Amino acid sequence: MKPSNMLALTVLVGIATLATIALLVYRLFVLEPPPTNGIPQGLLTAPKLSPEAAQKAVDNIFSLNLPDLAGRPQAIAQWRGKVLVVNYWASWCAPCVREMPALSRLHEHYASWGVQFVGIGLDDVEKMQAFVKTTPVSYPLLVSDFASQSSVLEIKGLPLTLVIGRDGNVEMTHLGPVDEKMLEPLLNRLIGR
């Protein structure tokens, strides 16, 4: 084969490859956008809550009355006066699932010092029940959804964790996974250790 024919064939193959890739990208992302489990794309990532938004959220959180996994209503206000760690999560959220064993260990360790962890699942109760069968959690899990929580808290992504002091003031808000190294110093300060 002549070098000029080989060059022409190589160029044609390259153009055909690029056209195929472009068509696949168009079909995947324009005609069929990636699934988000019904969650608007803008809710999947976002910055940290402002102090004003966080304090408003705390006031609203204490007014919540949500069902637990057995369907029994639980008032968040029952934990007023304790250090309260509220974690918004979902079973489909990989970072949420990864952080839950650490949150469960922290709850077991700090419960006797008046620290209460509460998980608010923005998920189907059946999916949450299946999750706790494989990943036991030592703190109460309550059931909600994005729509009903939008009036309480502007949730921009998951996991979202709020730490509320005994006095009802916001001590921390964190969008993204948390771990023991992040929470222990704050919890120790809040319980006076």
Report pLDDT digits (tens) over 141-170. 999 976 666 555 667 789 999 999 999 988
38-42, 46-50, 171-175, range with the lowest pLDDT: 38-42
Res. 62 pLDDT band, cuts 50 70 90: very high
Listing from the earlier edge strand, what are the strands of the sheet with 141-144?
A: 141-144, 115-122, 83-89, 160-164, 170-175
| Model confidence pLDDT, tens digit, residues 125-146 | 999 999 999 999 999 999 997 6
pLDDT of 185 strictly over 90: yes
Higher pLDDT, 11 or 48: 11
Give the span between the Cα atoms of 56 and 170, in whole angstroms.
9
Q: Among 55-59, 145-149, 179-183, 188-192, which is the least confidently predicted range?
A: 145-149
CATH number of 41-190: 3.40.30.10
